[in-house]
Amino acid sequence: MNKTLRTAAAAAGFAFAVSAVPAAATTDCSPGKPGSELTLEEGKKVYDCIKDALYAGYMKGDKKWIPAEYVRDYRDWTPVSTGPANPGWHGERFLLTFVNDVGAEEYLKYLEERGPMPAGTVIAKESFSVKDEGKVKKGPLFFMVKVEAGSAPETADWNYMLVSPGGKPMKINAQKACSACHEDNFGARDGLGYPIEEVRVGQ
């Protein structure tokens, strides 16, 4: 092969690699096996691949009744799990939770019994799911906001909110769709579900 040919072949190979790699890395982070079979390590890899696209999706469009800064800033809050995990409750979803400055220290105690979390606590939980055929799918961004004592008695003073993977605030019946499960199961710890023990920070 003469030099010009070699260079052309190398350039073609390079172009192929460049066009093939981003397609694999950005449009499809699917691990190719069911979410229930993924190790924490493999779940983390999927998250690292999808996390920029996940955030970009949540940021799209008007947040209406949800304070826009919650969505903008939650990634700067304190992560209260060491990586995404699938607890089997929020569907087949892998979850990653962040708590703002008001509540982070209290949350990180993971107390089994507690009084109310401080008013002004905001908790964000991002999610993605891995289906049985091994395909990854973006999930909603969940929020719990602790309001002043007595101001939302039917939901134990928590406001529950939800942003779709495409950035739309979703209308929910917070009592039925969210609070009933949180209070029935975790009432003794102010409704907090906590991440599974394997991914709790400092445990």
Q: Is 160 in the site for ligand HEC (CB under 6 A)?
A: yes
| Contact between 167 and 64 (Cβ < 8 Å) | no
Residue closest to ligand HEC (Cβ):
193
Q: Is 172 in the site for ligand HEC (CB under 6 A)?
A: yes
Picking from 135, 138, 131, the residue whose alpha carbon sits closest to that of residue 30 is 135
| Contact between 130 and 44 (Cβ < 8 Å) | no
Q: Is 177 in the site for ligand HEC (CB under 6 A)?
A: yes
Q: Is 95 in the site for ligand HEC (CB under 6 A)?
A: yes
Q: Binding residues for ligand HEC, how many (CB under 6 A)?
A: 24
Picking from 147, 152, 144, 124, the residue whose alpha carbon sits closest to that of residue 191 is 144
| Residue 42 phi, psi dihedral angles, 5° rounding | -70, -35
Contact with ligand HEC (CB under 6 A): which of 45, 181, 200, 201?
181
We find the least distance from the C-beta atom of residue 144 to ligand HEC, in angstroms, to be 4
Strand stretches in 70-150, DSSP E: 78-79, 93-99, 122-130, 136-138, 141-146
Contact with ligand HEC (CB under 6 A): which of 74, 97, 98, 103?
97
- Sole window of 47-55, 62-70, 127-135, 192-200 interacting with ligand HEC (rule: CB under 6 A): 192-200
Indicate the residue among 127 and 136 with the shorter CB distance to ligand HEC: 127
